[in-house]
Amino acid sequence: MSLLSARHLPVRVNANQRVQRALTCRVSANSSNESLVAPELARVGPEFVADVVRNKVARKTLIVDVREPDEAATGSIKSAVNVPSGVFKSEDKSQLDAVIKEQLAGAEQVVVHCHFSKVRGPTCARALNERLQALGLDNAPEVKVLAGGVAGFMDAFGSDPALAVLPEGGWKPSHS
């Protein structure tokens, strides 16, 4: 059975962290022909991210958009931080280390996404998770992936200006 099926999955929690254990997320169905990139990382659904933006999640959560700035300009999740995927893929880890130090300080969890979060988002999330482990930071945030990416989020919440930042004319991504 695939990790991504049309059912509710519990959000994984470290034993020493206090969160709402009953919080679940709905993740979209994934074709059985597709292999999941970074299957070791938990997936969260658009509803979870919407609760983060509305400040209904008890944990300090940072949303990281790994699309290029021109892609993010087509529409983004309110309060998301844009860190282009090249930062995660670079051999020189100084930029990623700066993001960890400056943007992730104090975060208990990080939700990473790209357009659909099939390859680029999960790959960047894995790179972030591996770098956090390599740095051996105390209290490193838990890294997760937004299932369905920003496209799935916009399908569910794109009409809510409290949750989505859209250009004039609305959500019109270049990906179809």
Could you tell me whether strands 61-65 and 42-44 are parallel, antiparallel, or unpaired per DSSP bridges? unpaired
Has residue 12 been placed in a domain? no
Angle of the 149-157 helix axis to the 46-53 helix axis, nearest 10: 70
Q: The CATH number of the domain where 78 resides is what?
A: 3.40.250.10
Q: Give the model confidence (pLDDT) of 9-66 as tens digits.
A: 333 433 333 233 223 333 433 434 468 999 999 999 999 999 999 987 767 999 999 9
99 is in which domain, residue-wise?
A: 42-165
Has residue 130 been placed in a domain? yes
Mean pLDDT, rounded, for 68-81: 95
Mean pLDDT of the chain: 83
Has residue 25 been placed in a domain? no
Sign of CA pseudo-dihedral 68, 161, 80, 109: negative
Mean pLDDT, rounded, for 88-103: 96
Global model pTM greater than 0.75: yes
**Residue 170: predicted pLDDT:** 85
Strands of the 109-113 sheet, one edge to the other: 42-44, 142-146, 109-113, 61-65, 81-82
Total domains in the chain come to 1
Has residue 148 been placed in a domain? yes
Per-residue pLDDT band for 169 (boundaries 50, 70, 90) equals: confident
Distance (Å, whole) CA 57 – CA 138: 22
Has residue 2 been placed in a domain? no
Contact present, 19 and 11 (Cβ < 8 Å): yes
Has residue 11 been placed in a domain? no
Has residue 30 been placed in a domain? no
